[in-house]
Chains A and B, each alone.
Chain A
Amino acid sequence: MKQCSQCGAANSDDALFCSQCGARYEHEYSVPAVPEADAWDPSRESGDGIFSPASDSHRQHETPQSVYSPPVDARQPVDRGNSALWLALNIAIAILCCCTLVGSIPAIIGIVFAGMAISKANAGYAETARQYERWAMILFFAALVLGIVIYVLFIATGQFGLSNLPDFRDYGFDYSEWFDY
């Protein structure tokens, strides 16, 4: 049983309105707060209508209450600057590291993660956005390191013929026709 705050009458626990005076019970999750500029202002009404809300005593119970607390991961303002940085860097690496055959694969997956991070951040899901952003960062560095390692190995074996590493020119790949050296 719960008591009405207006007339003191007892009502059942799931009652929305008082059975005696009709006053409305506060919800556990209330209506979202209306911005001040958009809020309906009774004083601006002419008051000559049949229904006059200003005189309606029930209206006072409908004032917004911020009882409802959203989950941690919903509707938080998120800094999208870092996600955008990882997106840009992943695009750059996807183009720069493509000649290493596999170097741009992490970067392409990184582009997808950065895009999802920005969408999640736009939707207000801060924690998910941060996780995607972290993956975009990891994939960027993976692509960078992979690209550099493969490239260095390739140039080293091609240019200097390092001992036991394969020289692709031995397999008939003569790239000197495209490059002037």
Chain B
Amino acid sequence: MGWAAALTALSVLTGGIAALALGLPPCLFHSLTGLYCPGCGMTRALRLAFRGNIWASFGMNPLMYLIGIPLCLWLLVWVSRRLGGRPAPTLPAWAAWAALAVLIVFTVLRNIPGPPFCWLAPGPLP
């Protein structure tokens, strides 16, 4: 299963390089619907994080910090333990239902206009 993780890492890396080379890629979902998807603002968040503006980066997409970074660390642990021949770490079944609930609730909330919900929506780059 290490090859799957390697393939994912490779595609994310390729996407990252492409995004750097072409400028920030547009969002098809937002262009067509005018709504914010759960990943909206992640590219801006990464760009702000690399510039050192962590607080503004967090505001662009809190989900990246609350789910994305723990998930990446967990995947690293998974790969290292499998490569080391030890049993892979597991996730409880409720993690799946919790992730679904968080994704749906976050998407709905950040599309509600007006404070405090609009604070979850990404804004233009400062």
Contact = CB atoms under 8 A, between A and B. Distances in A.
Interface residues of A, number: 48
Contacts, number: 150
A91 B67 contact: yes
A19 B47 CA distance: 85
Interface of A: 79-85, 87-89, 91-92, 94-101, 104, 108, 111-112, 114-116, 118-119, 122, 137, 140, 144, 148, 150-151, 154-155, 158-159, 168, 173, 175, 177-181
Interface in B1-30: 1, 4-5, 7-8, 11-12, 15, 18, 22-30
Given A81-B82, A99-B40, 15 more contacts: A79-B88, A81-B1, A81-B78, A85-B1, A87-B96, A88-B74, A88-B91, A89-B5, A92-B8, A94-B38, A99-B37, A101-B33, A137-B4, A154-B26, A155-B26
Given A81-B82, A95-B39, A101 B89 contact: no
A155 B93 CA distance: 37
A95 B42 contact: yes
Given A84-B91, A98-B29, A119-B93, A180 B8 contact: no
Interface in B87-125: 87-97, 99-100, 103, 124-125
A148 B12 CA distance: 10
Contacts of B5: 85, 89
A111 B24 contact: no
A25 B30 CA distance: 73
